[in-house]
Amino acid sequence: MEPSSIAAGLTHPLAPLRADEVRRATEIAKQDQGLGPTARFVFITLREPPKAEVMAWDGDTELERLASVLIWERSEHMAYEGVVSLTDDAVVSWEPRPGVQPPIMFEEFTACEDLVKQDARFQEALAKRGVTDMDLVMVDPWAAGYETAAEDPSRRLVRPITFVRSGPDDNGYARPVEGLIALVDLDRMEITDFEDHGVVPLPPNPGNYAPELMYTDDNVPLFDGPRTDVKPLEITQPEGPSFTIDGHHLTWQKWDLRIGFTPREGLVLHQVSYRDGDELRPVIYRASLSEMYIPYADPRPTHYRKNVFDEGEYGVGVLANQLELGCDCLGDITYVDGVVNDNDGEPVVLKNAICIHEEDDGIAWKHTDFRTEKAEVRRLRKLVISFIATVGNYEYGYYWYLYTDGTIHYEVKLSGIISSGALPVGETPTHGALVAPGLYGPHHQHFFCVRLDMAVDGMENSVYEVNSEAVPPGEDNPYGNAWVTKATLLESESAAQRTIDPLAGRYWKIANPNKRNMLGEPVAYKLMPGGNVGHFFKADSQQGRRGAFATKHLWVTPYDESQMYAGGDYPNQHPGGDGLPAYTAGDRPLENTDVVLWYVFGAHHIVRPEDWPVMPVTRIGFELKPVGFFVGNPNLDLPRPGSAHCAHHAHNGHAA
């Protein structure tokens, strides 16, 4: 899928926009459309060429370089979608999108906080709670959602939540201001509604996690200092890493792929292929996080409206961390920058946004012949491609792992600080768990949807659900021990809306019926669910209407380049029904075609005291494993470990 060589000076069609291209797209849009200062640039990103053109590209000619531009025109209260040709210095298309709200912009975060803190009603309400220093007040602008027509997208709204620090570097999330809620119109920069549900005392204890701040209010240290028995752990590769990266083209062991980055999705993998002998065999054309949805389960006034689409309402790419060696990534690290835009349309380079490195992952395979006492063992290695985003109080780490045995693993690591609530000291929350006196974490869930544009040995694939079943007693099961696997073709979009069943060992197989292995069976990969959970919101609730994609764990659609996001293009203030429910309404056929898998997995967060003041990392994800894709174990050709680290090879006369 990757041309063997690219002519000098040519840009790969899937390479993310460079900083100069972002700036040029802004200049072209401003000049062509006469944009003034009220036109705010939400996202500027590569408009990927049609898949057929990319697949046919030979590396010798330049495909037209296009940029997608998303504008919020404040003076008109209107979103515009533009396509700019960087090749021809021209606007290709410019379309208004009435009735939608683009993601909330960073400049709106700070402006909203300033506005709320200056409001006399807000200051009076805080004074009732003993708070008078506005410099210590934190106002987090949460997306407004859509409960009633009051949140209609004809207005651009957020519903901020308030916290109070005890000092400039204090963890303000330790002291939430319960029941105090403003509704802010971001275009007019005015508070359109204000709720105060009564004074709840601020929780008394600090919740700091930096060592120099870990003291009680009585200035008593919370612990004796950092551990002194942690010895250095060095990860070195004297000859350097085994992977190579040329621009955004990454090769490692037998894997070959491209790295992408967008302001909405963050890290994207393109053209993921595995070199099998002389053949570069495709597995996935494009893989990305399609949406994140976090519904809360607490009916109290501050919390029941919380149902946020962190990707579609904010954008995880623009919130990516700039990673640091030895902290976020350990070992022989290669970093790749991410390029996004500010709201003036200027490029912003996120240094070290993407981390690439190798890790040892235990044994790949082993067998000891007990008769000869000879052992063979190989070490498993994985390539890690990751980025981390900070979305308000939460941290999310997104990790793609490629293994030498052909496995692909996607993992999300959740950390950061819970979105907290306050209640009088001595009370116990019904819909959450206490983490400190007067402080609790509301029950909530995190649903992630990954979009997998599959290409298992080609673009024509079929998807099967595979379950294990016990054979009924009788002639086929005379001893009561027999069980079989049953594969069911998911023929249409309605048939392919599925949930997990770990008791049946359920997985989904993506097969290419046009390519057969040496056993005469279609080559395939299987999607193996990891930890997962169901939803608990009602279908007619705000959470149910807006987050309907989270009611199923698997969706399958035919490829459509316009269908990218599980919650729809514009979930901000959307009443619901867009995204996957709308995409699949036509019940299109799926057999032997270009299919896209959408896998939804959920983290079920019943908060623990150990999650405070900052959460230990929780991991959740899934795997894609080859099934008949290879002839035998693809790890069989791994070299023996060196004798210095694996003495039994030397003892058996097999020193490497």
Say how far residue 321 (Cα) sits from the centre of its chain: 14
The total of other beta-carbon atoms located within 10 Å of residue 207's CB is 23
Strand partners, 421: 440
Mean pLDDT (whole number) for 561-572: 98
Q: Closest by alpha carbon to 508, among 390, 600, 386, 395?
A: 600
What pLDDT, on a 0 to 100 scale, did the predictor assign at position 122?
97
What pLDDT, on a 0 to 100 scale, did the predictor assign at position 325?
84
**φ, ψ (nearest 5 deg) of residue 587:** 50, 55
Q: Closest by alpha carbon to 303, among 574, 615, 607?
A: 607
Over residues 467-487, the pLDDT tens digits come to 999 999 999 999 999 999 999
Q: Mean pLDDT score of the chain, rounded to an integer?
A: 94
Provide DSSP, 111-176: HHHHHHHT-HHHHHHHHHTT---GGGEEEEEEE---SSGGG-TTS-EEEEEEEE-SSTTS-GGGSB
> In the annotation, is 328 catalytic?
no
* 554 within domain boundaries: yes
Gap between the Cα atoms of 597 and 286, Å rounded: 11
More confident residue, 514 or 62: 514
Domain that holds residue 73: 19-97
* 142 within domain boundaries: no
For the domain that residue 327 is a member of, what is the CATH number?
A: 2.70.98.20
- Asked if residues 81 and 95 have their Cβ atoms less than 8 Å apart, the reply is yes
The number of domains in the chain is 2
> In the annotation, is 394 catalytic?
yes
Question: Interior CA angle at 269 toward 508 and 3, to 5°?
Answer: 110
* 217 within domain boundaries: no
- Asked if residues 535 and 445 have their Cβ atoms less than 8 Å apart, the reply is yes
Say how far residue 279 (Cα) sits from the centre of its chain: 31
* 68 within domain boundaries: yes
Mean pLDDT (whole number) for 268-288: 97
* 301 within domain boundaries: no
Whether 220 has a pLDDT exceeding 70, the answer reads: no
What pLDDT, on a 0 to 100 scale, did the predictor assign at position 5?
55
Whether 188 has a pLDDT exceeding 90, the answer reads: yes
Gap between the Cα atoms of 448 and 566, Å rounded: 10
Mean pLDDT (whole number) for 6-17: 85
* 618 within domain boundaries: yes
How distant, in Å, are the alpha carbons of 55, 109, 254, 281, 625 from that of 278?
19, 52, 11, 9, 21
**Catalytic residue chosen out of the listed positions 146, 394, 410, 525:** 394
CA dihedral 99, 101, 107, 111 (to 10 degrees): 70
* 314 within domain boundaries: yes
Whether 15 has a pLDDT exceeding 50, the answer reads: yes
Give the ranges where 504-559 is alpha helix by DSSP (H). Answer: 542-546
What pLDDT, on a 0 to 100 scale, did the predictor assign at position 653?
42
Over residues 333-375, the pLDDT tens digits come to 999 999 999 999 999 999 999 999 999 999 999 999 999 999 9
* 143 within domain boundaries: no
Gap between the Cα atoms of 83 and 538, Å rounded: 39
For the domain that residue 81 is a member of, what is the CATH number?
A: 3.10.450.40
**Catalytic residue chosen out of the listed positions 256, 298, 310, 578:** 310
Strand, helix or coil for residue 290: strand
What pLDDT, on a 0 to 100 scale, did the predictor assign at position 643?
56
pTM across the whole model: 0.95
The structure tokens listed for 164 are: 């109070």
Any residues with CB less than 8 A from the CB of 150 and at least 6 apart, and which? 183, 193
Gap between the Cα atoms of 205 and 208, Å rounded: 9
